[in-house]
Structure 1
């Protein structure tokens, strides 16, 4: 069975305030013993705490987040400048996967730009594979956009066959592809999974008030934006079918993630997600 864990992006403020090890202890209390580290500095203090978590709490560091190259929105390590450090961190923590969280916005703009970026990924993936590390790419809804009838997903896979996928099932759903169909299509390539629910909220009263007052455009805009990220089990995703399908597709880690908790304590959201997943056998 794939290992269940947490995407630590959800807890970056808690790590900054309380320290990495204290956060890992709280996750262990929720019966969560694997993490993916993203949007958190891999400095010596955090890396040492992760190493301590591995030794004392039995934590698995399932994946580390990296960028391909430096850029204006890149906050962590990148493979162009920090390759040796990334490999060293993986060996220190027993981590076999690193993941790219998003392609640059410029690579989304055309087929040629996407192919050029994917070619860089292929080179990096081969270089990491020689070190025993697998590079994965995390999708968003934009990866279901098409150029000349070919999805970005397929362009990336065609140009970078050594690159595996971290499938965010929420973003697949939001992109208009059935998540079950996606997992079947890319079976064998899906090593990491983001377990994130998709919720549609009721139409808020202020949207109706805007329409009644004559501002139909503003009210209708609210109608078009009812989708939310949700605690697992509190949305519309079919997890009893999706998680076994993810495992059949090759998933080794399932990471709970919720991009926005809408004012709730993220630990409470994670606890709710964990309780639901336990209720269906995970």
Structure 2
């Protein structure tokens, strides 16, 4: 069974305030088996604390985040400038996966732009594979966009960079208009990491009603169609009892609970709720 872990992006403020190891201790108490590190500096202090967490708490580091190259979206080590450090960190922590969280926005605007980006990232996947590390690409809803030739962005990446594997965020698949079970079936074999994140539709906000009352119908309608939230697992509309076995069958080795926004709740409470629900359905 794949490990049930947490995407540490949820806890970046807590790591900055309390330190990495105390946060890992709290996660251990919540029955979290692994972590994926994102939006947290992989400096010596944090890396040493992660190593201590592996050794003393038994929490695996399932994946590290990397960027392809320096730029405004690169909030982690990048392959172009920090390749040797990334490999060293992986070996030090026993990590087999690194992941790119998003392609640049300018790579999403056309088929040719996506092909260019995929052709650039592909050799890095090959180089990392030679060092025993698997490079994965994490999707958002835009990756389900179809170009005029019928290919989704995901399809283009898979065609141009066949050694690049995928980290599938099931919430974003749902938001992108593809049934998550269909996605897992279609891309079976390359879905190595999974973000376990629920999809919640909220109630109609008062702001929308006020706009309708004022006769600003289209503005109110815009509020009406954008009532989607990131939810604690089990508090949204996704069928996890079917999705998780399907994800494992598609090749997943790690599941990471993630909730991009917690809407004022303590993220540890959100993680606790998600973990308890997942345990209740056998995970």
Q: CA deviation at 1:218?
A: 2.4
Cross-structure match for 2:210: 209
CA contact (8 A) 1:12 1:40 kept: yes
> 1:45-86, CA deviations, whole angstroms, 9 ceiling, x for partnerless residues?
000000000000001000000001111121110000000000
Please give the secondary structure, in 2, of the residue aligned with 1:199. strand
DSSP-derived class of the 1:10 partner: helix
Aligned partners of 1:73 and 1:248: how far apart in 2?
Answer: 32
- Bigger drift between 212-221 and 30-39 goes to 212-221
Q: CA separation in 1, counterparts of 2:118 and 2:128?
A: 15
Secondary structure in 2 aligned to 1:150? Answer: coil
Number of aligned residues = 282
The answer to whether residue 159 in structure 2 is matched with residue 162 in structure 1 is no
Identify the residue that residue 29 of structure 2 maps to in structure 1.
Answer: 29
Unaligned runs of 5+ residues in structure 1 are none
Q: Is the 8 A contact 1:33 1:57 kept in 2?
A: no
Q: Give the CA deviation at 1:158.
A: 0.3
Point out 4+ residue stretches in structure 1 off by more than 2 angstroms.
none
The 5 Å alignment of 1:1-282 reads 1-147=1-147, 148-282=149-283
Could you tell me how far 1:91 is from its partner in structure 2?
0.2
CA contact (8 A) 1:143 1:152 kept: yes
SS at 1:211 equivalent? helix
**SS state of the match for residue 102, structure 2?**
coil
Tell me the TM-score normalized by structure 2: 0.99
Distance 2:84 2:232 in 1: 37
**CA RMSD for the aligned pairs?**
0.7
What per-residue deviation string (whole Å, max 9, x for no partner) do you get for residues 212-254 of structure 1?
1222232111101111100000000000000000000000000
| Partner SS state of residue 207, structure 1 | helix
Q: Deviations over 1:141-163 (max 9, x none)?
A: 00011122111110000001100
CA deviation after TM superposition for structure 1 residue 107, in Å:
0.5
In the aligned structure 1, how far is the partner of 2:40 from the partner of 2:204? 35
TM-score, normalised by the number of residues in structure 1:
0.99
SS in 2 for 1:72: coil
How far apart, in 2, do the equivalents of 1:205 and 1:64 lie? 41
Distance in structure 2 (CA, Å) of the matches to 1:77 and 1:5: 22
Measure the CA separation in 1 of the matches of 2:98 and 2:76: 12
Distance 1:96 1:75 in 2: 20
